[in-house]
A = this chain, B = another copy of it.
């Protein structure tokens, strides 16, 4: 069985390979072999637990990018019913890297936004690895405005390396598309629940990635810049990305410590990709309970609290 192995998982992968070989031998029905398999299984499980309970920030970044990690579309398919996708920016193109949909979660009608990474090479080519073009963010903004008009809460899934870099994206106003989302999302008179499920890369993530609640999956990251780009700019050595990941304070726990995230949803042992159903269910519960809490707020109070929440972010001195 071929596995996608992240660097820090190599010891684990070696044990697993050994376990696989033993299992192939099991047909011989040696009693010792069965016991050996049992012991090794426990060992693998314990090692996985040990590894994942103390992942470094850089290891978390790798986990957040795991190709089998559940994506926005997996959450939507599992948690939501009556999904009607909205497409297009009404001016240039429909960007498949961004999902905008009307959907129902536990009886609540909402607008769902999300970055849509693919799982296969073909999907990723089509969806640009979840990197939005300006027209994708403008589609998301259509969703924000419709939610505002109809009074539907917004649930947003954050999972992108960043906004799409490129000539076309720049020429069609990537910066403008992002800032207009920020201005709109800060002002909508409906609850906004954002969930970091994987990568949270810079402005492309933030454009749909803040609100009245920020929920982070345990191994998701959210950062002002990808560790690789940070290393390339600050120290001109991309192989020091791990060091940058540690410096940038980008893990779920860092975000809670900084007062930016409200809640961490624990992942199954070995990461969300090892038990997507469990991870998705846990996220679903967290989202619904956030929606429940926020639905009691008056719109005026909600918008005011969201503004105060944003306004309070930052550390500085010399107040005068």
- 12 chain-A/chain-B pairs, Cβ below 8 angstroms: A90-B173, A90-B176, A91-B91, A91-B92, A91-B134, A91-B138, A91-B172, A91-B173, A91-B176, A91-B177, A92-B92, A92-B172
Write out, one digit per residue, whether chain A residues 262-294 have a CB within 8 A of any chain B CB (1) or not (0).
Answer: 000000000000000000000000000000000
In the assembled complex, the Cα of A91 lies from the Cα of B175 at a distance in Å of: 10
Q: Is the interface of A mostly helix, strand, loop or mixed?
A: loop
Interface residue ranges, A against B (CB under 8 Å): 90-92, 134, 138, 172-173, 176-177
Residue of B nearest to A89 (CB): B91
A172 / chain B contacts, CB cutoff of 8 Å: 91-92
Q: How far apart are A233's CB and chain B's nearest CB, in angstroms? A: 28
Q: Say how far A94's CB is from chain B's closest CB, in angstroms.
A: 12
Chain B residues closer than 8 Å to A91, beta-carbon distance? 91-92, 134, 138, 172-173, 176-177
Task: Give 8 closest A-B pairs by Cβ, nearest first.
Answer: A90-B176, A91-B173, A91-B91, A90-B173, A92-B172, A91-B172, A92-B92, A91-B92
Q: A92 — which chain B residues lie within 8 A by C-beta? A: 91-92, 172
Complex Cα distance A91/B134, Å? 8
CA distance A317 to B293 in the complex (A): 55
A90-B134 Cα distance, complex, nearest whole Å: 11
Instruction: Give CA–CA (A199, B96) in the complex, Å.
Output: 41
Smallest CB separation, A93 vs chain B (Å): 9
The distance in angstroms between the C-alpha atoms of A239 and B91, with both chains bound, is: 37
Q: Name the residue among A90, A91, A173 with the largest chain B CB count within 10 angstroms.
A: A91
The residue of chain B having its C-beta at the shortest distance from the C-beta of A138 within the complex is B91
Known contacts A91-B138, A92-B92, then 10 further A-B pairs from the complex at CB < 8 Å, ordered by chain A residue: A90-B173, A90-B176, A91-B91, A91-B92, A91-B134, A91-B172, A91-B173, A91-B176, A91-B177, A92-B172
